[in-house]
Structure 1
Amino acid sequence: MKPVEKITVNRHSSVEERQRALYEIYGQVLERQPYAYEHRLLAKAEQDFLRDKIGVKRFLKILGHSEVYLNEFYYSSSNLKFLELCFKHFMGRAPFDHYEMSHYSDILMRDGVNALINQMIDSEEYRKHFGCFTVPYPSQEEFYPSPKAYLETDILNHELHGQRGHVMPTMVWHELGLDCDGGSCDLQGQPTLSFPEPEVSERLEFLQVLRRMHPEDLKEIAASLPPTQRASLSQALAKSAR
């Protein structure tokens, strides 16, 4: 990954510096600059930020809770894809493992979108990386939990919104042996589910995570799969339930 310039603002920052920070926040969180009508929806928060009434963290929460963000990412995505996008936008990385996805999925389903975003922005990891004054940026960890975690973060941070569809998060299409680069998922030549080594333990862990997903998420994932892969997933889930 190329070095990222950190954009930081505090009480001593000029209006011009805050305007630049606002531009970078939109680039990181919305993956684009707002349209004119979206600027109107966010006008008060923007003015409060530019006048130093609120800081980066508070503005991020307002933006993440707004209809501008939810319309762009939440309403058009599966819960799992939305979770992955929240990690990208607010933490600068992909989810590290199934446990992390399951943990935040529980927060999303139990407490809602606002609680999910607050939990990320108020986390100790966020504090260590960005503090109160730095705009979130793509992660450049010195050490990753696994090569897979690095790969998925690199893919996600270079992914254009919608490039790989709105249903399947990266870790899931990797686990299923799919290629989703075109926005729809195709098999990579495997007739059945494929799992990386160690095959047995990772397969069981992955299937258990799938079984804990919300039924609507499973329906969306199944609908996005080719028929052969859909049948294979159903059989694997049925076996893991015994």
Structure 2
Amino acid sequence: MNYTQEVTVSRHSSREERKAALYQIYVQVLERQPYAFERKQLVKAEDDFLHDKIGVKRFLKALGHSAVYLDEFYHGSSNLKFLELCFKHFMGRAPRDRQEMRLYCDILMRDGVQALITYMIDSEEYRKHFGCFTVPYSPQEETYGSPKAYLETFILNRELHGRRGKVLPTMLWHELGLTCDGGNCRLKNSLAAPTQPPARSQGDFLQMLRSMNPSDLEQIASALSADQREKLRQALMQPA
């Protein structure tokens, strides 16, 4: 996949051009093509798009609100990991900082999943980069807020879904000094498995993270004692 490829349709686009755009939408948002049973759930939106009744933006809302998208990325993930994936799929980038994550997490917790996706697609940033007819992609920014912002976008856009687990977003496992390739987290430059099993299972830990506010997770990432931080790392190193 070309993460900087711009694919645009218009009122004058042929059916074949719209089919190509539809393929690219699924690559960008689902990170794959839908399975046959999933396509049945999307058939109305697909038909409207291919017959020029709706544009890319309206199709994205239908896809993002669908059970197909939510079953793949929302159910089974922590809220913050889901938010990171929404940024990847609909904005083509990683979240810029914790403040932005807090803003969108508040929307998610207050108004729900569909409102979050609608807010993102209706944002001024989305309008500026993609309008109504361009498939989201990773736009080349003139400047980035920091080298970290560039690195996290670069990594996230090339990360296979689930490769680094479904709990911690990139910015937090960076701050914890972890590498999470393969879905299991460990200390960087450490190949040894933990000698003692953690007291909390990965499933329990996932449930705990789901119940936390962003401010709680900030404390985990930056305000824990050395002993507490090590316990957290050991818990994350436990296979799911």
Alignment partners' CA distance in 1, 2:61 and 2:3: 26
SS of residue matched to 2:18: helix
- Does residue 136 in structure 1 map to residue 136 in structure 2? yes
Q: Could you list the per-position Cα deviations for residues 182-232 of structure 1 after superposition, in whole angstroms to 9, with x for gaps in the alignment? A: 211112269xxxxxxxxxxxxxxxxxxxx74387x89xx9xxxxx963546
Bigger drift between 54-63 and 130-139 goes to 130-139
**Residue 158 (structure 1) shift:** 0.5
Q: CA deviation at 1:72?
A: 0.3
Counterpart CA distance in 1 for 2:174 and 2:125 is 26
RMSD, aligned α-carbons: 2.4
Where in structure 2 are the equivalents of 1:210-229 lying within 5 Å?
212-213=213-214, 229=229
Structure 2 residue ranges without an equivalent (≥5): 191-211, 222-226, 234-240
Q: 1:10 to 1:186 in 2, by over 3 A?
A: same
- Identity of matched residues, %: 69
Match of 1:25 in 2: 25
TM-score by length of 1: 0.79
What pairs up with 1:75-86 in 2 under 5 angstroms? 75-86=75-86
Alignment of 1:103-182 (within 5 A): 103-182=103-182
Aligned residues: 205
Q: Specify every segment of 5 or more residues in structure 1 that has no aligned partner in the other structure, as ranges.
A: 191-210, 222-226, 234-242
In the alignment, the residues of structure 2 paired with residue 171 and residue 47 of structure 1 have an alpha-carbon distance, to the nearest angstrom, of 38
Identify the structure with bigger relative contact order (alpha carbons < 8 Å, sequence gap 6+). Answer: 2
Is the partner of 1:118 in helix, strand or coil? helix
Separation in 1 of the partners of 2:49 and 2:118?
18
TM-score, normalisation: structure 2:
0.80
For residues 113-167 of structure 1, give each alpha carbon's deviation from its aligned partner in whole angstroms, at most 9, with x where no partner exists.
1110011100010011101110001232121111100000000000000010010
State the partner residue of 2:74: 74
Once residues 122 and 24 of structure 2 are traced to their aligned partners in structure 1, the CA distance between those partners, rounded to angstroms, is 20
Q: Distance in 2 between matches of 1:214 and 1:53?
A: 43
What secondary structure, in the 3-state scheme, does the structure 1 residue paired with 2:182 have?
Answer: coil
Partner of 1:197: none
Given that 2:179 and 2:187 are in contact with CA atoms closer than 8 Å, whether structure 1 keeps it comes out as: yes
Partner Cα separation in structure 2 for residue 189 and residue 39 of structure 1:
43
